[in-house]
């Protein structure tokens, strides 16, 4: 009889955001009279930029005409998109080759799929709290995990440990805490990885939210990163592609371990298991880098920044402790009155019909914390903060 992957038994029953959605839906079904506001999953609400939509529509029309129709595209992504991404990096002073960029259907898939390249025996270092995909995908593979605690003492930005590991996940700006590493802190990580032969898997999905010019937006701004780091990027949060799906991963050619080039391995993996992102979506993604779309895309990001400001101001008025909201679309707050994360989730849902994400879902150090997202609709965000204020106003 078939033997199943026993490591699935070690996972929580549901993926965090599915569990939150399930509980919110159950509450809404039981209370049809309540108007539930979701500030939980970081899903965007602003429409795609008109220049992006126009590029997609043009591409769709090309697909409907015999002389411009396209079948399979290059698995690594069309050159027009990889070159636009390369030029965007160059504009920020970062040199990456178009051939080092792999276009995909999103950072989440790539972060999970990249574990294909690593043996099961590796030890994986995961900051805590952090995006649950890193933990869950490695649990599925049966790898040994070591948590690196984040807290208010280290600003939720833990530095390298004093022992070697094999794989390190970093997320900056961090999901969920909003904390972002500075250059010196990232340099310490790069030196650590080069020193012990670890590979840094750097999740830059929220880089567009960085406003502080002193904070790096790419790990490749850091000297030495090309021999130890892979960077995962997304059009989801930067340009509203959560529904259309597009991201990219940068694997530098200099990165090799045990004589094997990770670039070559990832190329082999992707050409075998992936057939690329649709031409229409890639045309839309390439349009993000045009002058016309840049302004439109920035307006959407500014909209979310203003939501973050509204949430933060609401929490300030109530005297809540929180981090994030600046350089990040997430606000990470301490649950009031010593409540646990899921207890606060239930309390807020029942008393304000507001859904957030329990901090405990991001790792053991997230217990007692709660995450709100700035990706919601403006009026709904205001309304949610008014309801929270009504509950907690002294
Ligand atoms: C989140 O809410 O943390 C994100 O939306 C999840 C994701 O991007 O997959």
| 305-320 per-position pLDDT tens digit | 999 999 999 999 999 9
Concatenated DSSP letters of 310-351: HHHHHHHHHT--EEESSSSSEEEEEPGGG--HHHHHHHHHHH
For residue 33, how far is its CA from the centre of ligand 1 (angstroms)? 28
pLDDT higher than 80, residue 394: no
User: Taking a C-beta distance cutoff of 8 angstroms, is the pair 230, 262 a contact?
Assistant: yes
For residue 157, how far is its CA from the centre of ligand 1 (angstroms)? 19
User: Taking a C-beta distance cutoff of 8 angstroms, is the pair 306, 74 a contact?
Assistant: no
What digits encode the pLDDT tens for the residues 91-149?
A: 999 999 999 999 999 999 999 999 999 999 999 999 999 999 999 999 999 999 999 99
Average pLDDT over residues 69-92: 97
What digits encode the pLDDT tens for the residues 172-230?
A: 999 999 999 999 999 999 999 999 999 999 999 999 999 999 999 999 999 999 999 99
Which of 186, 179, 132 lies closest to 159, judged by CA? Answer: 186
Q: Assess whether the C-beta atom of 108 lies below 6 angstroms from ligand 1.
A: yes
For residue 30, how far is its CA from the centre of ligand 1 (angstroms)? 26
Residue nearest to ligand 1 atom 6, measured at CA: 42
Chain position carrying tokens 């403006």: 378
Indicate the pLDDT class of residue 13, thresholds 50, 70 and 90: confident
Q: How far is it, in rounded angstroms, from Cα 126 to Cα 110?
A: 17
Residue nearest to ligand 1 atom 8, measured at CA: 42
What digits encode the pLDDT tens for the residues 227-265?
A: 999 999 999 999 999 999 999 999 999 999 999 999 999
Concatenated DSSP letters of 160-198: --SS--SEEEEESS-TTT-----HHHHHHHHHHHHHHT-
For residue 41, how far is its CA from the centre of ligand 1 (angstroms)? 6
User: Taking a C-beta distance cutoff of 8 angstroms, is the pair 246, 278 a contact?
Assistant: no
For residue 136, how far is its CA from the centre of ligand 1 (angstroms)? 14
Indicate the pLDDT class of residue 340, thresholds 50, 70 and 90: very high
Q: Assess whether the C-beta atom of 21 lies below 6 angstroms from ligand 1.
A: no
Q: Assess whether the C-beta atom of 41 lies below 6 angstroms from ligand 1.
A: yes
Residue nearest to ligand 1 atom 1, measured at CA: 42
Which ligand 1 atom is nearest residue 237's CA? 8
Residue nearest to ligand 1 atom 9, measured at CA: 108
Residue nearest to ligand 1 atom 3, measured at CA: 42
Which ligand 1 atom is nearest residue 17's CA? 2
């Amino acid at each position: 009889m078939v033997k199943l992957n026993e490591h699935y038994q070690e996972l929580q029953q549901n993926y965090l955001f599915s569990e939150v959605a399930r509980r919110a839906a159950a509450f809404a079904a039981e209370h049809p009279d309540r108007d539930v506001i979701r500030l939980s999953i970081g899903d965007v609400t602003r429409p795609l930029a008109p220049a992006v939509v126009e590029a997609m529509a043009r591409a769709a029309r090309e697909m409907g005409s015999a002389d411009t129709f396209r079948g399979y595209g290059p698995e690594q992504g069309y050159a027009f998109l990889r070159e636009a991404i390369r030029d965007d990096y160059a504009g920020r002073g970062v040199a990456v080759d178009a051939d080092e960029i792999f276009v995909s259907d999103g950072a989440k898939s790539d972060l999970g799929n990249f574990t294909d390249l690593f043996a099961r025996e590796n030890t994986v270092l995961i900051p805590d709290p952090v995006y649950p995909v890193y933990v869950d995908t490695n649990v599925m593979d049966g790898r040994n995990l070591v948590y690196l605690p984040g807290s208010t003492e280290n600003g939720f930005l833990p530095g390298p440990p004093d022992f070697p590991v094999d794989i390190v996940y970093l997320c900056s700006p961090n999901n969920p805490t909003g904390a972002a590493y500075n250059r010196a802190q990232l340099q310490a990580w790069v030196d650590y990885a080069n020193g012990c032969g670890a590979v840094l898997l750097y999740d830059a999905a929220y880089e567009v939210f960085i406003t502080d010019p002193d904070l790096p937006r790419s790990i490749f701004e850091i000297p030495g990163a090309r021999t130890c780091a892979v960077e995962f990027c997304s059009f989801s949060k930067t340009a509203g592609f959560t529904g259309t799906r597009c991201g990219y991963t940068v694997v530098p050619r200099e990165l090799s371990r045990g004589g094997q080039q990770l670039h070559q391995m990832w190329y082999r993996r992707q050409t075998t298991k992936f057939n690329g992102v649709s031409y229409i979506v890639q045309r839309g993604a390439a349009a993000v880098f045009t002058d016309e779309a840049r302004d439109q895309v920035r307006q959407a990001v500014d909209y979310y920044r203003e939501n973050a400001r509204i949430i933060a101001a609401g929490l300030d008025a109530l005297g809540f402790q929180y981090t994030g909201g600046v350089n990040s679309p997430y606000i990470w707050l301490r649950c009031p009155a010593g409540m646990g994360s899921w207890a606060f989730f239930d309390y807020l849902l029942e008393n304000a019909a507001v859904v957030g994400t329990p901090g405990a879902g991001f790792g053991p150090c997230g217990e007692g914390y709660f995450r709100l997202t700035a990706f919601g609709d403006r009026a709904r965000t205001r309304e949610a903060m008014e309801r929270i204020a009504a509950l907690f106003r002294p």
